[in-house]
Structure 1
């Protein structure tokens, strides 16, 4: 009995020792499996991050994008050319207006009187040169009107030529402006020819009469001043930022309202310098406006600015100043890129100063462009929340 009991105790001790030896092996298996899962997840994350980094480098060269885009346009202060009391305001703030529409009117009483006086002075000066004086006055009025048309055509053509140089407007627009300018110039020449004939009918004495010449100049000035009592819109656009009221006295040369042209509107997009390598004039562009979330519009690259003001100012007699770099990464420099819009694109949504997301497609790569088109559409929806 004693030997059997001892044998049972030895077997029990061996069983416990075997279980103690196998326990660490069994408990280590879940730990090893958990470690493998973490390692696998880490590798997947590293692969995804590496792919995104490489894709960003490629996309930045072939489909560069920026959210630093601003809608730009010509902002013109409207100033009357004659002084007087404002008797009527026809412009409604922030409402579209056509070129030539009257914005406001100045009291014409004084200028009508001045015109009447000028006409009477001319009649008085022409009493000794016969009944042809009236024809001279009519011819002079035609010259005044033709010169006003020519001046307006000259201003408009100069603006269009400038926009063509910046590639904001097409060469066809420049040709049309040049034709209008030539037509207006011919009109002035024709009116002056008629005036010369009218003066010739007055005879040598009337043509050389100092009083008649002085009266004609006074008449021309009076006619111009009367025309200038109507303040008109220089182009299609919007009158903004004005607080006019009937009865206010307007001084010549002092702005009374701000006019924003809707004809010449473009986007100035600021791209990183290292994103400009493949951008060239004529490249396809898509952009999204914060004012119109969820919508994407098309445009083209007009030009890339060749230089910028980077804040370095050197004075004669002084040494150059070097700005110290802060941080371990150099701040990227941005350059403006002019984005040309067609007249039909985003009509009514192009508010000057508005923000835009812009992407440029530099190559005909359907795959990478597909990612770009998807990204700009996602960005357009971000406008709802930012």
Structure 2
């Protein structure tokens, strides 16, 4: 009875009227509590969804604006001039004066080819020049002698003319006979022929001599051969064309180097730049001279500066049309088609990243198209964050 009385009392406490006593049961209370919890949970989910949508929309709009004013790319490569070192003369390598991938100054000797053959060729060329000079001296003397003969022949001819004139006068006066006149005519003709012969000999001597001094054909040929011999001897030393490093070579003393065949690869450190591939729709505000910040994978955590040098006006997009063939069309369509990228050349600021410019190295690039823009603050922050990603890439 006591338990029954307690149950009745508890029921009376939960309800003040009969209708309330009928509706207010323990199961109904549980449903009401669950409904309120579900409603609160749905409101939280809806609120979180709205926040996410707002953030996504903001980021999308921000990306569109940033892509125009602070375009960036992670498709940057350090580029430089790679020159194959090719000997210009053949011979045995007798000395190697450099090691791979160490800094070399312009004009520094990389390797030496046995110069003995070229020293002999130089000595021979010097002797040929001397001989050519001596020959020219002898020929000059011959010309001088020929000129003297011409003068002598002309004097004899002049004397023969005077003497023959006297004889002809005396023959007319019948002091001398006609035989004397005939002899005078013969001597005059002989003297005249002597002049012609002497002049012919002079012409031959002058022709053999040619031009005098360095313009003489034989002397000029000898001098050119001497210059070539000197050049070949100098080329027996293989020198660095610019500042840089020698790479990719396995030379050893005794190796026979052939002229025209590369023996090592040289990477110039003077002309180094970054080639960054930007999406086509990121180039709208970009122009030469814009300030650039970039991070090199080789130097994580560091940010360097540079400037946009120029933007390529065209790229090869796989359209190869030939005369006589039909035009080709691409099958790529849609709003989200793959974007075309264009190379942008970026020059380092003076002494920026000195010693870190490894050709082929990757770089993240940020371009600031406007000065003193608020977007630049985000760009500077982001490129510095990205620079630390190189530690985990």
Q: State the TM-score, normalized to the length of structure 1.
A: 0.75
1:121 deviation in Å?
1.6
Q: Of 334, 338, 343, which aligns to 2:345?
A: 338
Whether the 8 Å contact between 1:77 and 1:258 is mirrored in structure 2 is: yes
Q: Report what 1:18 is aligned to.
A: 23
Task: Give the whole-Å Cα distance in 1 for the aligned partners of 2:377 and 2:365.
Answer: 15
Contact 2:210 2:217 in 1 (8 A): no
Q: Do structure 1's residue 266 and structure 2's residue 273 form an aligned pair?
A: yes
What is residue 46 of structure 1 aligned with on the other side? Answer: 53
1:295–1:380 CA contact under 8 A, matched in 2: yes
**3-state SS of 1:104 partner:** strand
Matches within 5 A, 1:341-380: 341-380=348-387
Task: Map residues 241-256 of structure 1 onto 2, 5 A cutoff.
Answer: 241-256=248-263
Q: Name the SS of the counterpart of 2:349 in structure 1.
A: coil
1:89 is matched with 96
| CA deviations over 1:329-386 (Å, ceiling 9, x no partner) | 2100000111011230000000011100000001124421110001000110011111
Q: Matched residue of 1:264: which SS?
A: strand
Pairs within 5 Å for 1:36-75: 36-75=43-82
Q: Measure the CA separation in 2 of the matches of 1:314 and 1:128.
A: 66
Residue aligned with 2:24, SS: helix
Give runs of ≥4 in structure 1 deviating > 6 Å: 8-13
Deviations 1:255-281 (A, max 9, x none): 011111111011010000000000011
| Pair 1:300 & 2:300 matched | no
User: Aligned with 2:363: secondary structure?
Assistant: strand
| TM-score, normalising length: structure 2 | 0.74
Q: CA deviation at 1:205?
A: 4.5
Moved more, 213-222 or 229-238: 213-222
Which residue does the alignment assign to 1:138? none
Cα RMSD of the aligned pairs, angstroms, is 2.4
Count of residue pairs brought into register by the alignment: 310
Gaps of 5+ in 1: 132-201
Structure number, greater radius of gyration:
2
Which residue in the other structure is 1:27 paired with?
34
| CA–CA separation in structure 2 for the residues paired with 1:296 and 1:32 | 51
User: Which of 321, 334, 337 is matched with 2:328 structurally?
Assistant: 321
Asked if 2 retains the 8 angstrom alpha-carbon contact of 1:263 and 1:343, the reply is no
